[in-house]
Amino acid sequence: MNTNMLRTDANFAGQIPALYDRLLVPMLFEPYAADIAQRAAALGPSRVLETAAGTGAVTRALARALPANVEIVATDLNQAMLDRAAMTPIERPVTWRQANALQLPFDDASFDVVICQFGAMFFPDKTAAFAQAHRVLRAGGAMIFNVWERIEENEFADTVTATLGRLFPDDPPLFMKRTPHGYFDSEAISRDLASAGFDAAPRIETITQRSRASSAHEAAIAYCQGTPLRNEIESRAGATLDEATSTCAEAIAARFGSGAIDGKIQAHVITVQR
């Protein structure tokens, strides 16, 4: 993958953060946020770092799941996402900080747990990011992160990607398959963690949930306009963003129905000890 493509795939700016937060968070991220926060709480940490925090779905779940004395530091590469996250009140102190997961601005051995929900797929150098998590973890601490399973196991994303492939046959927008659903191989993940310095074998669990939306149109807006897929659609000739969104909505409705819909989503949850 070229550097420019990596930069585009990680570009959550403009109108994307608001749509992402309003539509994608409840559709995709909240069920897994509750799961990963409970896993963190079970470890009894005193200081937790979240990387790739996005608009704060996991941060809010951590705030609910962890005792009040536990310090939470939430970081993201994109300040626009953190700005959106900070708009939702949290009933306890949280430190929001813009930071690159590949160059964490924290001392060695300064956290008990590092959390990363659906962010590892975006890291241009996975091993470097895992090495940074390893560095800031105290001995006996743990990194907990999740990644999406292959796109065929995630029905809305698969439908949208296939539909856009037919709409733009000469240059299909493959953001969803390439990045969010591009880092699912358990052996590759284990190798990257070992290369980053994690000696213990990771525990990898596959968790299936349901993704729900009030309509096919809402789901299409979420994917086509609330993710960097939007950048790919807008850069192509042949259909406008609104036309592409409408075409995807029709395809989702044809597969899942015209009213409230739900589809399968699936992810791996990985826990590895320092």
Q: What domains can be seen in the chain, in order of their start residue?
A: 3-273 (3.40.50.150)
- Any idea of the CA torsion for 256, 219, 175, 247, to the nearest 10 degrees? 70
C-alpha span between 60 and 257 (Å, rounded) = 32
Task: Transcribe 106-171 into DSSP letters.
Answer: S-TT-EEEEEEES-GGG-SSHHHHHHHHHHHEEEEEEEEEEEEPPGGGSHHHHHHHHHHHHHSTTS
* Strand duo 95-98 + 71-76: pairing: parallel
- Provide the sign of the torsion angle of the four alpha carbons 89, 92, 97, 98, taken in this order: negative
pLDDT tens series, the chain, 274 aa: 544 454 555 556 577 778 877 888 888 898 899 999 999 999 999 999 999 999 899 999 999 999 999 999 999 999 988 998 998 999 899 999 999 999 999 999 999 999 999 999 999 999 999 999 999 999 999 999 999 999 999 999 999 999 999 999 999 999 999 999 999 999 999 999 999 999 999 999 999 999 999 999 999 999 999 888 999 999 999 999 999 999 999 999 999 998 999 999 999 999 999 9
Q: What is the pLDDT of residue 10?
A: 58
Q: Which of 55, 64, 54 is nearest to 34 (CA)?
A: 64
* Predicted TM-score (pTM) of this structure: 0.92
User: How far are the Cα atoms of 135, 143, 260 from residue 198, in angstroms, in the given order?
Assistant: 10, 10, 44
Question: Do 227 and 29 contact (CB within 8 A), yes or no?
Answer: no
Q: Which of 91, 59, 60 is nearest to 75 (CA)?
A: 59
SS3 content of the chain, % helix, strand, coil (to 5): 45, 20, 30
Question: Do 67 and 89 contact (CB within 8 A), yes or no?
Answer: no
